[in-house]
A and B are shown apart, each in its own frame.
Chain A
């Protein structure tokens, strides 16, 4: 027993070069594609496979957008589960710990708990009317945090009880690995869904900007690439980086212009309790109404216009595309470093030519958090119905004092006419 422990400890701490490579993933390219491309050289064949799969993924993306918000939510959830699975599987391979007692069940249990917690928080906010009608749901919502905590604690206690003398260190490693993975994949997938509920445009523009930056940086690098960007990813170049940045900003700008015109993309997703469906219909907010902007004198000479009609959202899209091009790639470098650290070529081999789902989504994660923080800081105010709900829970004396404060504020601002009696 002691020998096994010590051998594993040594395995951990030896320098990277001693650690054996994880075996290369099997080639999962479909037979059809292989036959069609059998004539070409290996390099072009790879290029074609990547290209076809890229188009396939983009088509699936458009299809799901057409199908609506609910399908998008399901898609985000599936991707989250797959990414989680990919990262946990890597952990098992790294630590040779596939046979740890209980561990597979515990990992899935923790995933379930954290998802339950986050979905409960979201559902309560957005489906208030749906929830009000059903008694059992009301109980679940009211004590939601306590129930989630109790579920998590059960998992925690099961973990402690499952500790086995020979495998302490491995078990703690997998526990930590699971928690960090949960932190990365689950919280951010929920942020993506929150962004989605704010309006599909807040979901589409960031994701498209990251994809556009990936593709245009690759293309600029392919044609003009000369100066390497960072040792972590030797294929990236400064020319690709800068070219990708400018193209993405222009793309974001143009794409937002088209999306901002349709209520389907611009309106917050709401749940209609009568028809039991999601609706996206509303009076478009100020952000999505055309305004005249004066072109700064610098650009006036270039463009020849004095004023331009734009949506205010397009200004925000510049911020989003800038982040996608400048900081988003750091998510990619982080994932590259991770793959080199654990000597894996791809996270998995789910998508032929591209690797795993996680390989495609590594840059998206930072983006999702940024968009969420951006919306809460600069765009969205608090949710009025949530505020009202909380006001009604207060004690009567508190409600009265809040009422008086609000009244004096509204009168001060001239929104309310001062009346004789409250």
Chain B
């Protein structure tokens, strides 16, 4: 059992209440603290958000790797702690390099060392990874082969889960803060709403893996989250700082979120289907198209997101641990709070790539500049013919 991490202050203030209510209050206060913290960093801007995502990623990685050490009693394996952190560094270097090259193209082209690093980025990342791989092979010790392979596998699966998805979150963030805030809020809302509905109305158990979850909580959470998503999107779509893609301004050397809002964030008249007309009493409604997308996002958060939570519950039961760590009093580790978020991040990224975002123009220009002159000419002429066709030239 993990040690009791609750700060002394809270302990004294709540010393009179029974232990059940005390736990409830501790969880409630910490939930409010985390939500407040969330609002503060949103206010501070994309750069700080990026750093927070990075920190959360490192902490989650550390928590899962530590569990691996405890499971396999392998804390003293030669080299292994160093190698795990090294692989984390390599994979992060690879992903950050790809992101930086995409979004900060002009900045990168200006600085000579960055330009070379960016041009041969994949090769450098691969070479770094290979070095780690060879170090692992050289570190294999006769008595510990099996353990070392287990930890190698454990590290790689953790990297796959934790690091790739934190980078997907950052991609979503760059598309516009609303694509970062609405999904995360929907998952949090679903957590809280499902808990409340379960607390007050819960009767039928949902799944053997998590005995506390109930069908009433699940369905109640689903409807509340969709409603919450619609309202939150309505409020956020009005502000440019949330809907504009994050860009790097070369002149001021800072991040800017300023643009002409895209079609998604302009109010449109929608006809209400006849079924709802009698219920709601209006014939048409003014909505942002983004709110329709928010329904898809909240639906995923409520119906599929919980599977991420069940997966984590199964994992904890499989390895006989109560929580991933005891970082947050009353809640467990960082990973405990973020287990449902991971599937969500990938979904939003795939959703954006498939339905919303087109290709990145600056990335296309960057690729164009590396082609041969005859290829460049061919593409230029085809594009020109296309634009003339469309009447734009």
* Distance between A302 CB and nearest chain B CB, rounded to angstroms: 31
Q: Which residues of A contact B376 (CB under 8 A)?
A: 406, 410, 415
B311 touching A160, Cβ below 8 Å:
yes
A20 within 8 A of B: no
A410 touching B146, Cβ below 8 Å:
no
Mask, B370-393, CB within 8 Å of A = 1, is: 111101111110111011001011
A407 touching B137, Cβ below 8 Å:
no
SS class, residues of chain B in contact with chain A: helix
Mask, B114-143, CB within 8 Å of A = 1, is: 000001101100100010011011101011
Q: Which residues of A contact B154 (CB under 8 A)?
A: 176
What CA separation (Å) do A157 and B306 show in the bound complex?
Answer: 10
What CA separation (Å) do A183 and B98 show in the bound complex?
Answer: 20
A41 within 8 A of B: no
B364 touching A387, Cβ below 8 Å:
yes
What CA separation (Å) do A403 and B140 show in the bound complex?
Answer: 56
B361 within 8 A of A: yes
- Report if A165-B208 is in contact (Cβ < 8 Å); known contacts: A395-B358, A403-B384: yes
* Distance between A23 CB and nearest chain B CB, rounded to angstroms: 18
A402 within 8 A of B: yes
A388 touching B379, Cβ below 8 Å:
yes
Q: Which residue of A lies closest to B304 (CB)?
A: A153
A388 touching B145, Cβ below 8 Å:
no
Q: Which residues of B contact A338 (CB under 8 A)?
A: 149
What CA separation (Å) do A160 and B307 show in the bound complex?
Answer: 7
The CB with the most chain B CB atoms within 10 A, among A12, A149, A338, A366, is that of A149
The CB with the most chain A CB atoms within 10 A, among B122, B136, B140, B311, is that of B140
* Distance between B209 CB and nearest chain A CB, rounded to angstroms: 6
B72 touching A13, Cβ below 8 Å:
yes
B353 within 8 A of A: yes
* Distance between A196 CB and nearest chain B CB, rounded to angstroms: 19
A89 within 8 A of B: no
What CA separation (Å) do A171 and B310 show in the bound complex?
Answer: 14
B148 within 8 A of A: yes
A341 touching B142, Cβ below 8 Å:
no
Q: Which residues of A contact B318 (CB under 8 A)?
A: 168-169, 171-172
* Distance between B46 CB and nearest chain A CB, rounded to angstroms: 22
Q: Which residues of B contact A32 (CB under 8 A)?
A: none
A156 touching B311, Cβ below 8 Å:
yes
- Report if A13-B73 is in contact (Cβ < 8 Å); known contacts: A334-B133, A391-B383: yes
A382 within 8 A of B: yes
* Distance between B64 CB and nearest chain A CB, rounded to angstroms: 12
Which of A157, A230, A340, A413 is close to B304, meaning CB atoms less than 8 Å apart?
A: A157
B343 within 8 A of A: yes
Within 8 A of B (CB), among A366-422: 366, 369-370, 373-374, 376-378, 381-382, 384, 387-388, 390-396, 398-403, 405-407, 409-410, 413, 415-416, 422
Q: Which residue of B lies closest to A402 (CB)?
A: B361
A119 within 8 A of B: no
B359 touching A394, Cβ below 8 Å:
yes
User: How many B residues touch the partner, as a band?
Assistant: 35 or more
- Report if A168-B364 is in contact (Cβ < 8 Å); known contacts: A330-B134, A381-B371: no
* Distance between B377 CB and nearest chain A CB, rounded to angstroms: 6
Q: Which residues of B contact A163 (CB under 8 A)?
A: 209, 310, 314
Q: Which residues of B contact A403 (CB under 8 A)?
A: 380, 383-384, 387, 393
A416 touching B380, Cβ below 8 Å:
yes
Which of A340, A373, A391, A400 is close to B379, meaning CB atoms less than 8 Å apart?
A: A391
A376 touching B314, Cβ below 8 Å:
no
Please choose the segment from B188-196, B220-228, B274-282, B344-352 that sits at the chain A interface, where 4 or more of its residues have CB less than 8 A away: B344-352
Q: Which residue of A lies closest to B154 (CB)?
A: A176
B311 touching A388, Cβ below 8 Å:
no
User: How many A residues touch the partner, as a band?
Assistant: 35 or more
What CA separation (Å) do A391 and B361 show in the bound complex?
Answer: 8
- Report if A341-B146 is in contact (Cβ < 8 Å); known contacts: A169-B319, A171-B318, A382-B367: yes
B157 touching A180, Cβ below 8 Å:
yes
A333 within 8 A of B: yes
B13 within 8 A of A: no
B146 touching A342, Cβ below 8 Å:
yes
* Distance between B174 CB and nearest chain A CB, rounded to angstroms: 17
- Report if A390-B359 is in contact (Cβ < 8 Å); known contacts: A143-B354, A176-B154, A177-B153: yes
B317 within 8 A of A: yes
A96 within 8 A of B: no
What CA separation (Å) do A407 and B123 show in the bound complex?
Answer: 31
B337 within 8 A of A: no
Q: Which residues of A contact B369 (CB under 8 A)?
A: 409
B122 touching A399, Cβ below 8 Å:
no
A146 within 8 A of B: yes
A133 within 8 A of B: no
Which of A168, A334, A396 is close to B317, meaning CB atoms less than 8 Å apart?
A: A168
Q: Which residues of B contact A390 (CB under 8 A)?
A: 359, 364
What CA separation (Å) do A384 and B364 show in the bound complex?
Answer: 11
A384 touching B393, Cβ below 8 Å:
no
Q: Which residue of A lies closest to B370 (CB)?
A: A381
What CA separation (Å) do A366 and B132 show in the bound complex?
Answer: 13
A58 within 8 A of B: no
Which of B126, B136, B310, B364 is close to A373, meaning CB atoms less than 8 Å apart?
A: B126
A101 within 8 A of B: no
Q: Which residue of A lies closest to B314 (CB)?
A: A163
B365 within 8 A of A: yes
Which of B126, B149, B156, B310 is close to A183, meaning CB atoms less than 8 Å apart?
A: B156
Q: Which residue of B lies closest to A392 (CB)?
A: B386
* Distance between A74 CB and nearest chain B CB, rounded to angstroms: 28
B351 touching A146, Cβ below 8 Å:
yes
Mask, A150-179, CB within 8 Å of B = 1, is: 000100110111010100110110001101
Q: Which residues of A contact B365 (CB under 8 A)?
A: 402, 405-406
B37 within 8 A of A: no
A160 touching B137, Cβ below 8 Å:
no
A sample of 17 more A-B contacts (CB under 8 A), given A180-B153, A338-B149, A403-B393, is A146-B350, A157-B307, A160-B310, A163-B209, A163-B310, A180-B156, A330-B134, A330-B137, A341-B145, A341-B146, A373-B126, A377-B123, A388-B382, A393-B359, A394-B364, A399-B387, A400-B392
**What would be 29 A-B contacts, judged by CB atoms less than 8 Å apart?**
A16-B143, A145-B353, A146-B350, A146-B354, A157-B307, A159-B311, A160-B209, A160-B314, A165-B208, A171-B314, A176-B153, A176-B157, A177-B153, A232-B137, A333-B140, A341-B148, A342-B149, A377-B122, A382-B368, A391-B383, A392-B386, A399-B392, A400-B392, A403-B393, A406-B380, A409-B369, A410-B380, A415-B377, A416-B380
Give 5 closest A-B pairs by Cβ, nearest first: A341-B145, A168-B318, A377-B123, A146-B354, A382-B367
